[in-house]
């Protein structure tokens, strides 16, 4: 039996004898992907494949699974642990705000944390969804792609979960609750001075569907999932790093009022375009592979040239509810506080 497995480090071939058992396949997947515990998807479109439903000593030929010639997608299983046990342990929590958070205060969470959440729509001219840029990456037989998240005020949480939770973009409610539980368990670290809001009020705020996530949330999630998060600012190509000591990395793209995620998609030579769905993406990378981060910055340079960003300090803004016009997020926040209006767009 011959098959392929795609893990965080790329694609590997597996060859097994006809007498191979379920345990043999699990061992081979671990060997090829360096994942001691994993979740699998198979088929097209990919569907969940649960090997634990079979006895380890059962021969693969007797499972009824048609795996010969198949490509499996392996994602870390233990990465979801903090979601299942949010608040149950604080042993891995940061005892101080990581230095990279200080560099992130230009991002939306720190400036809007003490204000009502705003809904800011991007101009259609900034939209690249019809033709997202790609960067050839022949070194890993793939193409770096921008995977665009929905514009629904949960884009940061969706981008993070898309990468860290094996393609799932709908775990924003659990992630918001996780962030709130960590803040409540660490009052000395996440104080009112840091949050610019009383911790209980901040926790109630971040659990709302219309509250944006930013630097504080990225710092917490990076620690809880033991990932380095690199957030590239499209406007100036600055890279903000969270939890730099982690062995694995995800790369987010920040365009002023929105987050997307960078993915490596397998592609045919010359690797200028990938036509496979996101199920085949790799979004978790070894932190030693700085060439991937450099490629992501190159990708953001293309986005910068397409003006795929919003200058939140100086952009012309209008209220979609009453027609008021102003400049920048601060003026919009004042208008929101005075009127209760939350729906804004670039004018």
List the catalytic residues: 152, 155, 258, 341
Quick one: how far is CA 132 from the chain centroid? 17
Nearest to 228 by CA among 215, 237, 219, 236: 219
Q: What does 97-153 look like in DSSP terms, one character per residue?
A: --HHHHHTTTSHHHHHTTS---EEEPPGGG--TTS--EEEEGGGTEEEEEEPPPSSS
Instruction: Spell 176-202 as b/e; 16+ CB within 10 A means b.
Output: bbbbbbbbeebeebbeeebbebebeeb
Q: How far apart are CA 218 and CA 221, in angstroms?
A: 5
CB 162 within 8 A of CB 265: no
CB 265 within 8 A of CB 142: yes
Nearest to 175 by CA among 191, 164, 190: 164
């Amino acid at each position: 039996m011959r098959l392929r497995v795609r893990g965080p480090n790329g694609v590997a071939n597996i060859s097994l004898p006809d007498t191979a058992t379920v345990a043999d396949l699990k061992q081979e997947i671990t060997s090829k992907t360096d994942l001691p515990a994993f979740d699998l998807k198979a088929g097209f479109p990919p569907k969940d494949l649960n090997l634990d439903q079979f006895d380890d000593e059962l021969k693969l030929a007797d499972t009824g699974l048609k795996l010969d010639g198949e490509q499996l997608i392996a994602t870390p299983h233990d990465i979801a642990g903090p979601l299942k046990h949010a608040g149950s342990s604080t042993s891995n929590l940061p005892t101080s705000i990581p230095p990279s958070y200080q560099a992130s205060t230009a991002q939306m969470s720190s400036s809007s944390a003490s204000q009502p959440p705003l809904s800011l729509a991007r101009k259609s001219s900034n939209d690249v969804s019809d033709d997202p840029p790609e960067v050839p990456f022949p070194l890993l037989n793939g193409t770096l792609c921008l995977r665009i998240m929905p514009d629904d005020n949960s884009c940061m949480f969706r981008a993070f979960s898309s990468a860290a939770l094996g393609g799932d973009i709908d775990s924003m409610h659990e992630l918001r609750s996780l962030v709130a539980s960590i803040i409540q368990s660490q009052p000395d670290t996440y104080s009112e001075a840091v949050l610019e809001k009383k911790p209980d009020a901040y926790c109630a705020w971040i659990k709302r569907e219309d509250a944006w996530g930013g630097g504080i949330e990225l710092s917490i999630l990076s620690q809880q999932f033991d990932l380095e998060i690199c957030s590239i600012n499209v406007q100036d190509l600055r890279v903000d790093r969270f939890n730099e000591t982690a062995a694995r990395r995800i790369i987010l793209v920040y365009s002023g009022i929105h987050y997307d995620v960078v993915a490596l998609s397998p592609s045919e030579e010359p690797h200028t375009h990938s036509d496979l769905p996101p199920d085949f993406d790799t979004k978790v990378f070894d932190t030693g592979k700085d060439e991937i981060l450099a490629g992501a910055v190159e990708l953001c340079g293309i986005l910068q040239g397409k003006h795929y960003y919003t200058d939140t300090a100086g952009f012309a803004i209008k209220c979609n509810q009453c027609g008021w016009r102003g400049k920048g997020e601060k003026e919009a926040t004042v208008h929101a506080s005075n009127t209760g209006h939350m729906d804004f767009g670039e004018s």
